[in-house]
Amino acid sequence: MLRINASGLRLISKSLNVQSVKAVKNIAIDDKDRLSKPRSQIKGVELLRNPSLYKGMAFTVEERQLLGIHGLLPPAVLSQQVQCHRIMENFRREKDDLSRYIALTNLQYRNEKLFYKVLIDNLELLMPIVYTPTVGLACQKYGIAFRRSKGLYITIHDKGHIYDVLCNWPESVVKAIVVTDGERILGLGDLGCYGMGIPIGKLSLYTALAGIYPTHCLPIMLDVGTNNQQLLDDPLYIGLRQKRVTGKVYEEFMDEFMDAVVARFGYNCLIQFEDFASHNAYKFLQKYQEKYCMFNDDIQGTAAVALAGLMTSLRVTGTPLEENKILFVGAGQAACGIADLVALAISRKANITFEQACSRIYMFDVDGLLVEDRPEGQLDGPKNKYTKQSLRPTKNLSDAVEQIKPTALIGATGVGGIFTESVIRKMGQLNERPVIFALSNPTHKAECTAQQAYEFTDGRCLFSSGSPFKPVELNGKTYVPGQGNNSYIFPGVALATTVFQSKHIDEEVFLIAARTLSEQVSESDLVAGQLYPPMKQIQNVSVKIAVEISKYYYETELASLYPAPYDLESYIRDQLYDTTYQSYVPNTWTWPEEHTKPKDFN
């Protein structure tokens, strides 16, 4: 089993320290016999079953002849346009969102280009189906929704052999992985292996929103069991029927996974952590951030989108960032991630220490306001730095708002409706333009609805939510709520990271992403109360974010692509996935006549 070639080891040791190189030594990394078949050799029925090559009835007669599929399709040749029309017709006939989700994922498994074309052309309508909130419902009902496997499932029983499982993946070039262990899916809790819908959904947005090739993306479920008894009793459950493995064995499994990814796909392969339980999310971020090319979307992606929303709202309120008082409700990974990034932004802007910046930030969790005399054990972890001395303990959110008088209230609790009428009204009494973010997902976990936020503040609040809400009509005015979802951030971060092969992703990247996102909000968006650019601009926003991050990657020598392209933006745009079908017929070319005449050989 100890097979490793020198160049492979050199490649790995470039990014890993000696200790981790030792860890990958047991892994066979000679890959020659594992490469997938070249695309040009895929023909016949095999071609019809390959979603990245399939074109359905858009194959021309010539292609059908050439590729050995003539007669395997109905005789008519349809354009991609007509196919899109048919897909949307069928979509409208589906009776509920879960059926719409199933119909779209079926299309994705069958014909990738058509799926992405339809998704991109109808983003506002379809994003809530392939992504939040419907993807949450799909995960809860994954046993029913399951049709065909996509991505990789690696279980705790594969410990010691993770590299070999990764080698079963048919694509040899993987640039980005989204991985979960399913322990905290959105605000829905432990969904075990059913959580696979999340990496699949996130990576669909890598392609739809940032043009990253679908074949370069790999969704991974790390199945270490589930503590959700309902799932363990569910006859349709697709995962391991056992309680979660924790502690040393789980951590060794995670370490092996990280090294196996490097060994199989290279040290530049981006690994996005998604929907791990808070304690693990933080632990792995701290442990792996400087050693691998990784980030945690729930901590860092959510932080950047919330900071961007806050920055934009300050253009309306006119209060400088450092003069705000921000109350977080929830003290898990999302709340602490946002608070830490906001504190970093404040400290930079006001030229004060990070600790001084933390004094402007307050937190309220399941046990009430974070004040010093709380019982031992209630103030552990990253939230600790937001504990205040001078405040009275309270478990009543309205009372906390009254005491602190915050300018901004940010909810990341997973507790739907916790922003009650009295809490929202109080924010409205304290502020001319209160900032209220209800970031928990999916929709029924939002801390309040858009309707409630606007109604109880007479339309004065600056509102955003993690899941989409429809525009609200109030006293003859229409309010369009912003969607403060990390989908504004992670695609752009992933685009810069994969195109320029960054070695690591540090905190600065998320500050840059937040600032760039906020700058994309136009004055007319702001007048309409929008805190984020309209959804239809999101691909352009991802490119802008990627451009700014890539400048930083070159300034700090994190980029591995040299020489640096002269024009970063046009280089990025040249790399983007194109949803139009390619022709399989070679360009016709004839020899010039004089070359076809027999020549004298003398």
Three-state SS at 479: strand
Q: Is 100 known to sit in a ligand binding site? A: no
Q: Least Å distance between CB 486 and Mg ion?
A: 7
202 is catalytic: yes
Helix (H) or strand (E) holding 499: helix 490-499
Beta carbons within 8 Å of 558's beta carbon, 6+ residues apart: 502, 503, 504, 506, 552
For residue 258, the partner it binds in ligand OAA, Mg ion, none, with Cβ less than 5 to 8 A by kind, is none
Beta carbons within 8 Å of 595's beta carbon, 6+ residues apart: none
Q: Which is nearer to Mg ion, 185 or 363 (CB)?
A: 185
Select from 487, 488, 496 the least CA-distant residue to 175: 496
Query: Is residue 190 involved in binding ligand OAA (CB under 6 A)?
Result: no
Q: Least Å distance between CB 270 and ligand OAA?
A: 16
Q: Is 275 known to sit in a ligand binding site? A: yes
Reading the block at residue 17, the tokens are 């320290």
Q: Is 441 known to sit in a ligand binding site? A: yes
Beta carbons within 8 Å of 366's beta carbon, 6+ residues apart: none
**∠ Cα 59 63 67 (to 5°):** 110
Q: Which of 54, 116, 131, 454 is catalytic?
A: 131
Q: Sign (positive/negative) of CA torsion 33, 38, 43, 45?
A: positive
Chain position carrying tokens 């939002």: 446
Q: Is 485 known to sit in a ligand binding site? A: yes
Binding-residue total with ligand OAA (CB under 6 A): 9
Alpha-carbon gap, residue 351 to 509, rounded angstroms: 19
Reading the block at residue 228, the tokens are 């959700």
Q: Least Å distance between CB 297 and Mg ion?
A: 5
Q: Which of 113, 117, 175, 202 is catalytic?
A: 202
Q: Report H helices in 395-449.
A: 397-404, 421-430
Distance from first CA to last CA of the chain, Å, rounded?
60
The residue within the footprint of ligand OAA, chosen from 108, 132, 300, 497 (CB under 6 A), is: 132
Query: Is residue 298 involved in binding ligand OAA (CB under 6 A)?
Result: yes
Q: Is 233 known to sit in a ligand binding site? A: no
Beta carbons within 8 Å of 339's beta carbon, 6+ residues apart: 326, 328, 358, 361, 363, 386
Q: Least Å distance between CB 107 and ligand OAA?
A: 21
Residues that bind Mg ion (CB under 5 A): 274-275, 298
Q: Is 473 known to sit in a ligand binding site? A: no
Q: Which is nearer to Mg ion, 274 or 548 (CB)?
A: 274
For residue 256, the partner it binds in ligand OAA, Mg ion, none, with Cβ less than 5 to 8 A by kind, is none
**∠ Cα 447 448 451 (to 5°):** 160
175 is catalytic: no
Q: Least Å distance between CB 488 and ligand OAA?
A: 11
Q: Which is nearer to ligand OAA, 192 or 434 (CB)?
A: 192
Query: Is residue 297 involved in binding ligand OAA (CB under 6 A)?
Result: yes
Q: Which is nearer to ligand OAA, 441 or 530 (CB)?
A: 441
For residue 183, the partner it binds in Mg ion, ligand OAA, none, with Cβ less than 5 to 8 A by kind, is none
Reading the block at residue 234, the tokens are 């569910």
Which residues in the 446-475 window bind ligand OAA by CB under 6 A?
A: 466
Question: Strand (E) positions, 187-297?
Answer: 217-223, 270-273, 294-296
For residue 441, the partner it binds in Mg ion, ligand OAA, none, with Cβ less than 5 to 8 A by kind, is ligand OAA
Query: Is residue 108 involved in binding ligand OAA (CB under 6 A)?
Result: no
Reading the block at residue 491, the tokens are 């695609």
Q: Least Å distance between CB 487 and ligand OAA?
A: 7
Query: Is residue 485 involved in binding ligand OAA (CB under 6 A)?
Result: yes
Alpha-carbon gap, residue 80 to 221, rounded angstroms: 33
Neighbouring C-beta atoms of residue 81, cutoff 10 Å: 11
Q: Which is nearer to Mg ion, 63 or 275 (CB)?
A: 275
Q: Which residues are known to be catalytic?
A: 131, 202
Contact residues: ligand OAA, CB under 6 A: 132, 186, 275, 297-298, 441, 466, 485-486
Which residue numbers belong to the known binding site for a divalent metal cation? 274-275, 298
